[in-house]
Structure 1
Amino acid sequence: MNQSYDLIVVGGGVLGTFHAYHAVNAGLKVALIEKDMRPQGATVRNFGQVVPSGMNTKWQNFGRESLAIYKEIQEDFDITVRQEGSIYLASNEEEVQLLEELKSINETNGYTSKMLTKNQCLAKYASLREDYVKAGLFFPEEVKVEPRTMINKLQQYLQEKGLDLYMGETVMGCDALRSGVQLSTSKNRIFSTVKAIICNGSEFKYLYPNLFEESDLEVSKLQMMQTKVQPNYKLPSSILTGLSIRRYEAFSECPSYRSIKTKEDPQSFEKKWGIHILFKQALDGSIIIGDSHEYAPAGNIEKLGFDLNMDVDSFILKEAKKILNLPTYEIQNRWFGMYSQCKASDIYQRTIDEDIHIITGIGGKGMTGSAGFAKHNIKTIFNLEHA
């Protein structure tokens, strides 16, 4: 049976699902096809922090739209969104300077942030070590989610709004017709659609191998871990620390960023493995800690291997203990995530025969930026800017 749609989205991660969300909201007939029975990729293997504060100005705007979208959905349907804010903690005067400069940029951009003194940080975060913190920059609007639950709840919500969801089904063919697109799947189904959006790197690689080989996509492997449940302990917000200040794109727009970065040791362990220290409390009371970054070309992903580097985990835990005195640092889970990104651009976009749109390689911006970016992208693809 040939089933017909206005849009078929291939890939049920956060980027694909939010494209489906905005298309459904625009009144289009939409199907979402995901090769696994549940999403298994980058969307469910990250912290679940929605932090526009860490992005450059372009993506911060998308991220701020994402915040509004997450909160709007949460009012209607529980997708685990909690507005608890995010804080960046400076460990020395250089990092304090970067926080002050970022606050000034935020004021120009109209994004709310508040500088906290050392004593205010210590009062707000009871487990924060006095010998680490110098100051903090707090973003009250930012939220966190439980990634492995959120994406499934979001898709459930969309089904109630009319989305047709096909899980455990791989797209084997995607062909442009004289008018529209025809897709065939591993379950011997044929679909026709006006437009197709491919947000899954696996299908992109399989369906368009030449384009994939020509792309500048690379894959980043990130290591994270989860403590056991913290007894009688509450972390008031997500925490990002000095190494995050030195890594995140937002700070690269600060006037003193370049001169501060030139003083860093390029041979240090944290540089080699792209480490910065993050803390987020999960719904069950455990703490998620990470993370690291190891890179390989998308066409040679096997270079990254499937093992966890215990030296990296040990370093992360050692640094984490310098920042927070948690009741327990006993680890119950360790894992790695992988996401793709472009070397020369902020996202990979390629249109084939006008109606097939490959959109992938959003990098670490997916959980924060996808909702806002997809809103604008759907308007562009369907020419809805003035609708």
Structure 2
Amino acid sequence: MDNKYDTIIVGGGILGTFHAFHALELGLKVCLVEKNAYPQGATTQNFGQVVPSGMNSKWQKFGRRSLRIYKDIQSKFDISIRQNGTVYLASNEEEERLLVELRAINNNNEYESKMLTKSECLERYPGLRRSYVTAGLFFPQEVTVEPRTMIHRLQEYLIQEKGLVMKTSFPVISCERTTTGVEVRSTRGETLQAGKVIICNGSDFKTLYPELFAASDLEISKLQMMQTKPQENYSLKGSILTGWSIRRYEAFHECPSYAEIKRNEPQDSPQKQWGVHILFKQAMDGSVILGDSHQYADVDRVEDLGYDLDMDIDNFMVEEAKKIIQLPTYDIQRRWYGMYSQCKTSDIFKKTIDEHIHIVTGIGGKGMTGSAGFSKKNIATIFNT
């Protein structure tokens, strides 16, 4: 029957879509369902930076696998992947020491990176202020994507080339075991059947298993970002991560000097209060996306984060960005915030209801970088391959 599948993936974001991708690679009949007309959550509300370099050793492996998957798909179908590298820019001796230590770790992991002198940084990145930068660490294999178009192109590729069945505007209201598998029902009374169901979206998880959701250790992070008007005759290649990223990203937690450097940081700075670390990425239209901030709340108190942009945070980020790179214009054409869930005590939330129903969500800020690689392993585990 047309409504029977080997697996149904609930949630059309990056995590669900790559679970569908890897299930298709196993030759399975797959249906991907999305509650909205198109994905519009964290997958589309982010920078589009694919940076395994910022992850701890475990997730860097997933991220590097993701890079290979992204590049392979891009060689066959344009999903907006651009290999233009990632750079971390140190602003002082402490941050430069962390870069040197991270490079040693990556050399040991056989992951290509290159230290850049101050002069090389100034030459590579136009507008970078001499008064800010002391050195850089460059990862040439890393890529950027256009998040508001990439997920749609990826799904188009899977539908056209891999046989994916995708159903949008399909809010799932029940997921029930049957004698042969699982039946999924939508708000319109449509039913689908599958041997296994994988729920990859936090809001669907909340709808289907509210008590389990409430008992989870998930929290919500709210991130503010903005986009300048297109920059005239200006090119800023790759992902640009700065000193506060060096002080924040998980990869640096493994550096010998990290704990001491963190102890010496002021605890009452705006960067700490708002979780700010300044990032830059030029979009295909020439505009520059910059941000971002991090504010947290438990999943049952998400309203504490508010529904508006905090302009004090935006204004602070713009002023800090101006101290780092002198863009032709800092006129802002668009401001927004994204929200994603993450676990307080583990790196991702996984729960098996029984052998037929699996929940995987709360990937946090690792989604764009880690989903493709992680999903391959998780699909193999679920289907015992």
TM-score surpassing 0.5? Answer: yes
Aligned-pair distance for 1:355?
A: 0.9
Structure 2 counterpart of 1:240: 241
Task: Please state if 1:288 is matched with 2:289.
Answer: yes
Q: 1:48-89: per-residue Cα shift (whole Å, max 9, x none)?
A: 000000000000000000000000000000000000000000
Distance 2:34 2:360 in 1: 15
Seq. identity, %: 64
Distance 2:282 2:124 in 1: 15
Structure 1 counterpart of 2:332: 331
Q: Is the 8 A contact 1:227 1:287 kept in 2?
A: yes
Distance 1:98 1:310 in 2: 32
Aligned-pair distance for 1:180?
A: 1.4
Structure 2 counterpart of 1:219: 220
Structure 2 unaligned residues grouped into runs of 5+: none
Distance 1:262 1:220 in 2: 24
1:333-372 mapped onto 2 (5 Å cutoff): 333-372=334-373
Distance 1:163 1:338 in 2: 27
The one-letter amino acid paired with 2:111 is Y
Q: Is the 8 A contact 1:2 1:190 kept in 2?
A: no
Structure 1 counterpart of 2:131: 131
Q: Is the 8 A contact 1:217 1:343 kept in 2?
A: yes
Q: Is the 8 A contact 2:126 2:235 kept in 1?
A: no
1:106-255 mapped onto 2 (5 Å cutoff): 106-160=106-160, 161-255=162-256
Aligned-pair distance for 1:2?
A: 6.8
Structure 2 counterpart of 1:299: 300
The one-letter amino acid paired with 1:253 is E
Structure 2 counterpart of 1:10: 10
Aligned-pair distance for 1:172?
A: 1.0
Structure 2 counterpart of 1:264: 265
Q: How many residues align?
A: 384
Q: Is the 8 A contact 1:2 1:189 kept in 2?
A: no
Task: Please state if 1:49 is matched with 2:46.
Answer: no
Structure 2 counterpart of 1:27: 27
Q: 1:185-239: per-residue Cα shift (whole Å, max 9, x none)?
A: 1232111101100011111001101100100000000000000000000002210
Report the aligned-residue RMSD. 0.8
Q: Is the 8 A contact 2:237 2:281 kept in 1?
A: no
Structure 1 window deviating more from structure 2 (55-64 vs 1-10): it is 1-10
The one-letter amino acid paired with 2:283 is A
Distance 2:314 2:137 in 1: 27
Distance 2:93 2:199 in 1: 45
Large movers: runs of 4+ above 3 Å: none
Distance 1:83 1:289 in 2: 19
Question: TM-score, normalising length from structure 1?
Answer: 0.98
Q: Is the 8 A contact 2:66 2:372 kept in 1?
A: yes
The one-letter amino acid paired with 2:20 is A
The one-letter amino acid paired with 1:192 is Q
Distance 1:47 1:125 in 2: 18
The one-letter amino acid paired with 1:223 is Q
Structure 1 counterpart of 2:38: 38
The one-letter amino acid paired with 2:299 is A
Structure 1 unaligned residues grouped into runs of 5+: none
Distance 1:148 1:23 in 2: 24
Aligned-pair distance for 1:353?
A: 1.6
Distance 2:27 2:126 in 1: 48
Q: 1:311-367: per-residue Cα shift (whole Å, max 9, x none)?
A: 100110011001101000000000000000000000000001211000000000000
SS of the residue corresponding to residue 43 of structure 1 reads: coil
Distance 2:248 2:78 in 1: 32
The one-letter amino acid paired with 2:87 is I
SS of the residue corresponding to residue 376 of structure 1 reads: helix
Distance 1:162 1:22 in 2: 12
Distance 1:203 1:78 in 2: 30
